[in-house]
Chains A and B, each alone.
Chain A
């Protein structure tokens, strides 16, 4: 595939410039891709363990909660858990820049509120469940943060890879082919010019 341009020195110069830019861009993007991949792989490490840990804690918490629900009267349970807590759980989200990808960083503001109920009418399983839920929350946030970072990085990796490939396999070969073509056509023109001159000289000499 060639770019349709007229075979002039001007075009050749422009194409050579574009070629240099494309090569530079390709190198930069490839470096970016390598670094993104390195970060991505580092982030994957430990994700699965964290995931399993969170899952286990939540499921354990659920188990204790179900026991508590079975042992306590529904009214007591509701009364204990729906007591108005004085503050809502809040987190602050800041953004971190990884190779021009903005990934979220979450930090909890204060601690989770739980266990603000009387111990007279509640059972031990409820305390256990609440303790587990409270323990899992920071980990759950970390998991959410990692997951979102992974997703964002994956999208960026994919688009960067497409760009690198487009440059490497489409744009740069096309420009190179066009440059070669222009050079060949110009050489051909020069040769034909030379033979014409020789012919003319011959005719002039004979006459």
Chain B
């Protein structure tokens, strides 16, 4: 079973990172982001790469729409903000009880 990768990001990131051969949805506004999310949810992708900004624009709808697809956040080309470890820290804390285990590992 082979699946494609999708990328929802701003124009610059799509132009650069997306040119590796992903299915790209360039978004700049909230409406575009919502639309892209709908389109991406309708198709079956293995992984959806998202920038933080795009995720913010989608808001709460993101988690509901993408139940089966794996969402991976990447830094955007514009802000170049770092990828957060927060989400995975929360997961680790839920399972193990302490979060700083990741620093030791």
Known: A37-B96, A93-B1. A141 touches B47 (CB 8 A): yes
Task: Identify the stretch in A78-86, A182-190, A192-200 within 8 Å (CB) of chain B at 4 or more residues.
Answer: A78-86
A147 within 8 A of B: yes
The answer to whether A154 touches B75, judged by C-beta atoms less than 8 angstroms apart, is no
Q: Determine if A77 is an interface residue (Cβ-Cβ < 8 Å).
A: yes
Residues from chain B with a CB closer than 8 A to the CB of A44 are 92, 101-102, 105
Q: Which of B1-48 contact A (CB under 8 A)?
A: 1-5, 12-13, 15-17, 19-23, 46-47
- Whether the pair B21, A77 counts as a contact (CB closer than 8 A) is no
Q: Which residues from chain A contact B102 at a C-beta distance below 8 Å?
A: 44, 47-48
Considering only CB atoms, which chain B residue lies closest to A153 in the complex?
B95
1/0 contact string of A58-83 vs chain B (CB within 8 Å):
11011101100100000001100110
Q: How large is the interface on A (under 10, 10 to 19, 20 to 34, 35 or more residues)?
A: 35 or more
Q: Does chain A have a CB within 8 A of B83? A: yes
B20 adjacent to A154 (CB under 8 Å):
no
Known: A92-B2, A140-B72. A48 touches B15 (CB 8 A): no
Report B-chain residues with C-beta under 8 Å of the C-beta of A40: 95-96
Taking the complex as formed, is A121 at the interface, i.e. its CB lies under 8 A from any CB of chain B?
A: no
B80 within 8 A of A: yes
User: Can you identify 25 A-B contacts, CB atoms within 8 angstroms?
Assistant: A37-B96, A47-B88, A58-B17, A58-B74, A59-B80, A62-B13, A62-B16, A62-B80, A77-B15, A88-B4, A90-B2, A90-B4, A91-B3, A92-B2, A94-B1, A106-B47, A114-B21, A130-B19, A134-B20, A147-B88, A148-B70, A150-B88, A150-B92, A151-B91, A158-B95
> Which of B's residues lie within 8 Å of A, judged by CB?
1-5, 12-13, 15-17, 19-23, 46-47, 49, 70, 72, 74-77, 80, 82-83, 85, 88, 91-92, 94-96, 101-103, 105
Known: A44-B101, A45-B105, A48-B102. 20 other contacts (CB 8 A): A40-B95, A40-B96, A41-B101, A44-B105, A47-B105, A51-B85, A58-B74, A58-B75, A59-B75, A61-B17, A89-B21, A93-B1, A104-B70, A109-B2, A114-B21, A129-B16, A147-B88, A154-B91, A154-B95, A158-B95
